[in-house]
Structure 1
């Protein structure tokens, strides 16, 4: 493998991580939920009420994609949508009780994923990797 292959390798790692996460969610009975749905739930676990625009910015997806993702989570009973009373252009999304119950599941999946991700990687290598990826990300 050559240094020019790094983007392809990052893409393959991303696919494997997403597959791992989806498989773990299925094991927990969360079939039909993709990693993008998980991103929304995670964002709402951090801040309990967000606008669609805030979710879009946090998960780096366009608003139409976020709308479709949120609508599915509404159908699954994991989130609610509510229009702002003073300005109906704003739609707020919040977790339901069922959605909040996913916090421990998400934490466990995240811990398992990180354990697998960093298997055989030293703390020094983790720090170096993070620093390099931050530099590359800032290039764009």
Structure 2
């Protein structure tokens, strides 16, 4: 007797979050290895989004940086503090509004852009091996739908 389509779907999805978590953990391990091979000890994968935004925009208010990378402001503050301690960024209060903290790359931080570009390209190469454009587009659509489903559920809206 063939399995009911709903049961097949449930079975297929049962391990999805686990697979995503495992894939993210492996990607983070890969990134840490790549960073360490470049002599960048103390920079974590979680700093990557901050660097990408600052490479693109130069200087950003801390609150905007948090919004752009989809992280809680307190988390971004802690990440930025670590980067400032390492000499990669500076923070300063905005002259017009002292409540606004601006984050800016130092020369040391700016010099990392080619390294980050190279690591990003290597990550893309590894994660896309054996996948064609159609596979990647379908996977992207699926992930976006799942993210929207969780966002809706967290807002308490019906699915």
Q: CA deviation at 1:3?
A: 2.3
Q: Give aligned pairs, total.
A: 140
Moved more, 62-71 or 95-104: 62-71
- Whether 1:33 aligns to 2:43 is yes
RMSD: 1.3
Runs of 4+ that moved beyond 6 A: none
In the alignment, structure 1 segments of 5+ residues that lack a partner are none
SS at match of 1:132: helix
**Aligned with 2:102 (options 78, 92, 97):** 92
**Aligned with 1:114 (options 109, 115, 124):** 124
SS at match of 1:121: coil
The alignment's TM-score, normalised by the length of structure 1, stands at 0.94
Whole-angstrom distance in 1 between the partners of 2:53 and 2:86: 17
Larger Rg: 2
The alignment's TM-score, normalised by the length of structure 2, stands at 0.83
Q: CA deviation at 1:71?
A: 1.2
1:24 aligned residue: 34
- Whether 1:2 aligns to 2:2 is no
Matches within 5 A, 1:55-70: 55-70=65-80
Structure with the bigger RCO (C-alpha within 8 Å, sep 6+) is 1
Q: CA deviation at 1:86?
A: 2.1
- Whether 1:52 aligns to 2:66 is no
